[in-house]
Amino acid sequence: MNWSNLSLSSKILKLVDDAGYKKPTPVQVQSIPLVVAGLDILVCSQTGSGKTASFVLPILERFKDKNGTYILALSPTREIALQTGAVFETFATPLGMKTVVCIGGVSISEEKKALSSSPHIIVATPGRLCDHLERGNVWLDFIQCIVFDEADRMLEMGFATQIEKIAEQLPKERQTLMYSATFAPKVEKLAKSLMNNPREVMIQNTKSTIPQIEQRLLWMDEGKKVSALFSLVRQELGTIIVFAKSKERVYQIWRHLQGRKIDSTYIHSDLTQEQRESTVTDFKNGKFRILIATDVMGRGIDVDNIAHVVNYDVPYEAEDYIHRIGRTARLGKTGIATTFAIPIKDEFAICAIEKILGVESPKSQQEKKEKEEPKKHDHQRKKSQNVRRDHPRR
């Protein structure tokens, strides 16, 4: 499939060419014609699949010759909002269209000023947009197209009330696009309440994304994690993101790496917006090879060529696992995801992850493997010095 088959005009095709996008990705192939036709779509797709351009391009196609604030995109985090805003700007600025991004952590009066300049596109986090609505800085009566990006994440982060408030102010006649990495029942419920007979686009259900990511599960006691990380960092020469369960934990890991003179950087919610942005830029530009992150912060990181994702702590929510490992193997590339899990303590969470991945539980795989290949397994155990290593899951 080529770009020219997707109902896009030559103006937009030229911008796509300038961006260097040679071929459309599967989510773009399926979503773009539906959006250009003005339909509502519910898309199951992950970050890294080219999903942002899959809504930005057809939306601009629809609204490029219109003047007014017709487009609103909601993102779960500041980082994702900034990235979405940047993609809109890349393609909208040459069309003479203006984008405003509204997020927490920056001056609200600056944003108010920007909103009053009648932008064509507003990209916002739900909390910040509600702040502006309450202050009367913005009205949503004119919105003709709304995007709920990473809807599952917005709900997990507790934005249901804000979404409801925003939806109340939107005109009934509109186009609604909803993107989510997973179709949890709560996402379907939200879609039902906000959308008009949406077409479903199932691009990457979680199973189909897995083959590109080699997933490894290492069972170990808490006390073994630091040395397991050191050896992983020695063996893996590419870029690494280490996910941890809290900001205290992020510091702890960073200090351990510093102690070994292993350069790394970190990102979590206590940093100012400016600090977060410069951390991500440093990581993107290769100043640091290792980034340690909490879930909320790490999720918004859009960096190509991440070789390895390390789940230093098993995530609380099984969906977070999918989002974390989705940092690697972007756009058809390959990558590795290694999870450090504590026997007994993490077994329940690992089973939940296995369930959404649709694979056998690691425990039953382990038992089966031991029955089939007892000798080989014993050898592997010795070799990994008490770190019990289950075979990679695919």
Q: Which residues bind ligand AMP (CB under 6 A)?
A: 21, 23-25, 28, 47-53, 302, 304, 330-331
Nearer to ligand AMP, 51 or 62 (CB): 51
DSSP letter (8 states) at residue 198: P
Nearer to ligand AMP, 79 or 390 (CB): 79
Quick check: 152 and 187 in contact, CB under 8 A? yes
Strand partners, 310: 242, 338
DSSP string over 93-140:
GGGT--EEEE-TTS-HHHHHHHHTT--SEEEE-HHHHHHHHHTTS---
Nearer to ligand AMP, 24 or 119 (CB): 24
Cα 95 to Cα 100: distance, rounded to the nearest angstrom = 15
Nearer to ligand AMP, 181 or 349 (CB): 181
Helix (H) or strand (E) holding 31: helix 26-36
Contacts of 65 (CB under 8 A, 6+ apart): none
In whole angstroms, how close is the CB of 65 to ligand AMP at the nearest point?
24
Nearer to ligand AMP, 53 or 342 (CB): 53
Nearer to ligand AMP, 28 or 209 (CB): 28
Beta-sheet pairing, 388-393 with 213-219: antiparallel
In whole angstroms, how close is the CB of 283 to ligand AMP at the nearest point?
14
Cα 61 to Cα 128: distance, rounded to the nearest angstrom = 27
In whole angstroms, how close is the CB of 331 to ligand AMP at the nearest point?
5
Nearer to ligand AMP, 47 or 77 (CB): 47
Evaluate the CA torsion angle 29, 32, 35, 37 in order and state its sign: negative
In whole angstroms, how close is the CB of 48 to ligand AMP at the nearest point?
5
In whole angstroms, how close is the CB of 167 to ligand AMP at the nearest point?
24
Per-residue burial over 329-367, b = 16 or more CB atoms within 10 Å of its CB, e = otherwise? bbeeeebbbbbbbbeeebbebbebbbebbeeeebeebbe
Sequence letter at residue 316: Y
In whole angstroms, how close is the CB of 57 to ligand AMP at the nearest point?
9
DSSP letter (8 states) at residue 285: T
In whole angstroms, how close is the CB of 296 to ligand AMP at the nearest point?
17
In whole angstroms, how close is the CB of 74 to ligand AMP at the nearest point?
15
Nearer to ligand AMP, 51 or 323 (CB): 51
